[in-house]
Structure 1
C-alpha cells in the first residue's frame, strides 16, 4: 500500500459546498471504515480540504476520490499526490504502508 495526499479545491460558492457537506462527511466516514482514508480536514482559508489516503496505486486513489460527493456534485476538483514518507511520528504511524 502506498500513501497519498488528496487535495480538494472548491470550485463553487461555499453555499453549494455546505449543501453537500453532510453527504461528504458520510462518505469520508465510510472510506475511513473501509481502511482507505486515515485523516482529513479543511484548508485554511476554507478553499478546499486535504485527505490522507492509502491505496494500491495513484489511479485507484484517483478513482476513489472521484466518488466524493463534492467531486460528483461538481463543486470541487481533486489532485492526488503520492508521497514516500521518510519519517513518521508514532502518532501517525498508520500512514506507513
Structure 2
C-alpha cells in the first residue's frame, strides 16, 4: 500500500482553479478501485491519498496523470508500507484485491 503526500507548489488560487479537474481525476481512481481514502491536509498545504496495493511504477505513472501534476501545481512524496495490522474492514478490502 502507499500513502501519498501532496504538497502544493503553487498559490492556492491556482490550486483552486484546477480543483474541479483534480477532483474528477480522483473520482476516476475511486471508480477504478485504486484509492482507499483521500483529502486535504490541515492546515491546507496539500493533500493525502491512501492507495490499494499496486506496483510503485504504476502509482508513479498514475500520479503523473493528475491535472495538478500536469500543471506542476503539486509535488508528491510516496511512502510504501506493508500493513501488518489493520481494522477488519481494511483486511477484507485487501483480501479482495489479492484475489483479483
Task: Return the TM-score normalized by structure 2.
Answer: 0.86
Q: Deviation of residue 54 (structure 1)?
A: 2.0
- CA RMSD across the alignment: 1.5
Bigger proportion of residues as strand? 1
Secondary structure of 1:6's partner?
strand
Alpha-carbon deviations, 1:36-58, whole Å to 9, x = none?
A: 11110111110100011124311
Where in structure 2 are the equivalents of 1:5-84 lying within 5 Å?
5-84=3-82
Bigger proportion of residues as helix? 2
Q: Distance in 1 between matches of 2:44 and 2:82?
A: 27
Contact 1:38 1:95 in 2 (8 A): no
Question: Which consecutive segments of 4 or more residues in structure 1 shift more than 6 A?
Answer: none
Task: Return the TM-score normalized by structure 1.
Answer: 0.88
Secondary structure of 1:45's partner?
coil
Q: Deviation of residue 67 (structure 1)?
A: 1.0
Asked which structure has the greater CA Rg, the reply is: 2
Structure 2, gaps ≥5 residues long: none
Secondary structure of 2:52's partner?
strand
